Structure 1
Amino acid sequence: MSPDLDARIAAKALTEYDVAPGSELRLVNRSENTVFGLADAGGGETLMVRVHRHGYHERQQIESELDWLAAIRRDGVVAVPEVRAARDGTRVVTVDGVDERPRHVVCFEVVPGAHPDENLLTDTDFRDLGRITAALHEHARTWRRPPGFDRFAWDWESCLGRRPRWGRWQDSVGVGSDQRRLLGRAQDLLERRLRDYGDGGDRFGLVHADLRLANLLVHDGDITAIDFDDCGFGWFFYDFGAAVSFIEDDPALPEWQHAWLAGYREAGAVTGADEGMLASFVLLRRLKLLAWMGTHRHAVESQTKLTTYAEGSCELAERYLTSGGRLLHR
């Protein structure tokens, strides 16, 4: 995935939109996909242009993500970005003739706001995040999905099992034989606890799957949830593991967890069994991210955190094992 190639794909897709000549693309982010901002030379309006990497989502899966976004907007659940359709009403533009394979592109209206400062995180940030997460869960439980709705599952096999979507943590940087043994023991305990917890409809359903503070935009007190690209069918409380991505070993995590749960209870219910599994979902996410950074070396998080991420994962795994799968911090 090359930013120059993706810029050409974005530019070709934009010929299907009413965009003024001379409008400029600027790279915003390269992660699972590549996102560009577009400054429209005709009036200063800006779009976010998401170029999907080949092979991660089929077109119908992207359409299904956009169906959920449209339902969330219509039902007033939380604020989410609005899709900008092409001139012919198409929400997903497929580009041929630039890459060797067809590539899908989606344009979103720009949302005002800024991400919470990750160096100044507060309990209020996590309380807001918990409340938004619960609102999305409640909507997912009751929303009648349209025919043909198709999103992949974040079940055990696709997370850490035989078909890990983000790769194997065992192959990541900093994982030697000693680390494999320790993390493998923690993974075995994690699998047992998830199996005992179960995946019935009250515990497993449609989730954002990446609902962290970096995927919130705050503007004058209004909060918008963004980046539903990983949404799919998983454990509802996996979303707490996602909420603390890359900061799982911060000493403040117990306080953030308390705040997140307080916010969640404002819009949804939490059972004792759910709360008892939060450490497991944090470790599940941590091991997935260890694998993800090993296969996504271009991502900012990989470039800044990968060299120490395996070591920190082992420290969390030790505490997880010592506590019987219930705690990650002293």
Structure 2
Amino acid sequence: MAVAMDELKRMARQALGQWGLPDQQPELLKYRENAVFRVRLADGRHAALRLHRPGYHSEKSLRSELLWMNDLRRSGLHVPQPLPAVDGELLVAIAGREPQFADLIGWVAGRQIGETGKPLEHSPGELAVIYRALGGVMADMHNAADRWAPPAEFHRPAWDAEGLLGDGPLWGRFWDCGALSASDRRFLGDLRPRLRERLQAVATHLDFGLIHADLVRENVLLDGGSVALIDFDDCGYGWRLFDIATTLLRNRQEEHYTLIRSSLLEGYRSRRELEEATLAHLPLFLLLRGLTYIGWAGERPELPDAADRMARYVGDARELAAALGG
């Protein structure tokens, strides 16, 4: 979504008019899959305006994300609150060079657990508390998803065998990126069918349902003793181990990774069953999650650190594949 900043801000102001909030200068916070702006509501509270990347999700899928967030809030989870526009709609269309949608969600207080690529600054005791709490909230989210009966029009992508290893994975063809060396291309091309066979052998025995799919450090906020989950942009149907693997993957190099892992699992198991036989497949899901980052980076060669990212992600995949015995 390569759009000039002036055009982005124009579209943001246009969108805000549909919430009865004209004459603001929205503050751009993030510009990646979506353009996210901080804005101020009529009562003075902050909110986040999201301009969704054209073509990334359908209108039905975007509406479904907001519906699930609303249900999670009804179940007592700390997630952003979708705010209806003047006409009552949660998602609005805005005029631009191509069809685009916007929504407005309530501001969520708190600080991120940390940033990817930077060592965590928490003490071991704090890490145990944080990740135990996150594990419990993750389990609560999965429990709430299982209780919910989505409406007939609900649609979200699936992080299933096709979404991860099919011909058109959700985050890109990780084995077929232009930035890959010939050696890496062969390695990943050979790995893909073997992983598909492994996944098919266990898939029907594993817990499957709605997942967040991107519970990385930046998407978990701490506010006192509460844990909030944000950025449901990639939520969909998938194995619950995928959520656990996503949280753990970028922590593997942390000095206290063993503590982080055990605390997360302890918190999860305090709210939801997780058998050892299921957990035995976590190395497979760590690798599957690692491969998604290769596909993601391969479709974004314009990033200033694209080459470094690709080298790091492929190195992670080789390490995880060796640990799996693949």
Query: Which interval holds the TM-score relative to the shorter structure?
Result: 0.7 to 0.9
Equivalent pairs: percent with the same residue?
A: 32
Deviation, structure 1 residue 94: 0.5
Counterpart selection for 2:113 from 111, 116, 131 = 116
- Taking structure 1 as reference, are residues 295 and 245 closer, same or farther at Cα in structure 2, changes over 3 Å only? farther
Deviation, structure 1 residue 199: 3.5
Indicate if the aligned counterparts of 2:146 and 2:209 stay in contact, CA closer than 8 A: yes
- Taking structure 1 as reference, are residues 172 and 134 closer, same or farther at Cα in structure 2, changes over 3 Å only? same
CA distance in 2, matches of 1:278, 1:61: 28
Q: After the TM superposition, which of the residue ranges 312-321 and 158-167 deviates more from structure 2?
A: 312-321
- Taking structure 1 as reference, are residues 81 and 205 closer, same or farther at Cα in structure 2, changes over 3 Å only? same
Gaps of 5+ in 1: 326-330
CA distance in 2, matches of 1:184, 1:139: 38
- Taking structure 1 as reference, are residues 17 and 153 closer, same or farther at Cα in structure 2, changes over 3 Å only? same
- Taking structure 1 as reference, are residues 146 and 43 closer, same or farther at Cα in structure 2, changes over 3 Å only? closer
2:93 aligns with 94
Q: TM-score, normalised by structure 1?
A: 0.87
Deviation, structure 1 residue 255: 3.5
- Taking structure 1 as reference, are residues 199 and 211 closer, same or farther at Cα in structure 2, changes over 3 Å only? farther
- Taking structure 1 as reference, are residues 239 and 88 closer, same or farther at Cα in structure 2, changes over 3 Å only? same
Indicate if the aligned counterparts of 1:249 and 1:316 stay in contact, CA closer than 8 A: no
Deviation, structure 1 residue 116: 1.1
- Taking structure 1 as reference, are residues 314 and 126 closer, same or farther at Cα in structure 2, changes over 3 Å only? same
Tell me, yes or no, if structure 1 residue 280 matches structure 2 residue 284: yes
2:69 aligns with 69
2:241 aligns with 237
Matched position secondary structure for 2:73? helix
Matches within 5 A, 1:205-224: 205-224=209-228
CA distance in 2, matches of 1:179, 1:123: 37
Matched position secondary structure for 2:295? helix
Indicate if the aligned counterparts of 1:174 and 1:311 stay in contact, CA closer than 8 A: no
1:107 aligns with 104
Tell me, yes or no, if structure 1 residue 203 matches structure 2 residue 207: yes
Deviation, structure 1 residue 192: 2.3
Deviation, structure 1 residue 105: 0.3
Q: TM-score, normalised by structure 2?
A: 0.88
Tell me, yes or no, if structure 1 residue 159 matches structure 2 residue 159: no
Gaps of 5+ in 2: none
Indicate if the aligned counterparts of 1:157 and 1:164 stay in contact, CA closer than 8 A: yes
Tell me, yes or no, if structure 1 residue 146 matches structure 2 residue 147: no
Matched position secondary structure for 1:237? helix
Question: CA offsets, 1:66-94, max 9 Å, x none?
Answer: 11111111121x11111121111111010
2:29 aligns with 28
- Taking structure 1 as reference, are residues 161 and 253 closer, same or farther at Cα in structure 2, changes over 3 Å only? farther
Matched position secondary structure for 2:158? coil
CA distance in 2, matches of 1:198, 1:215: 27
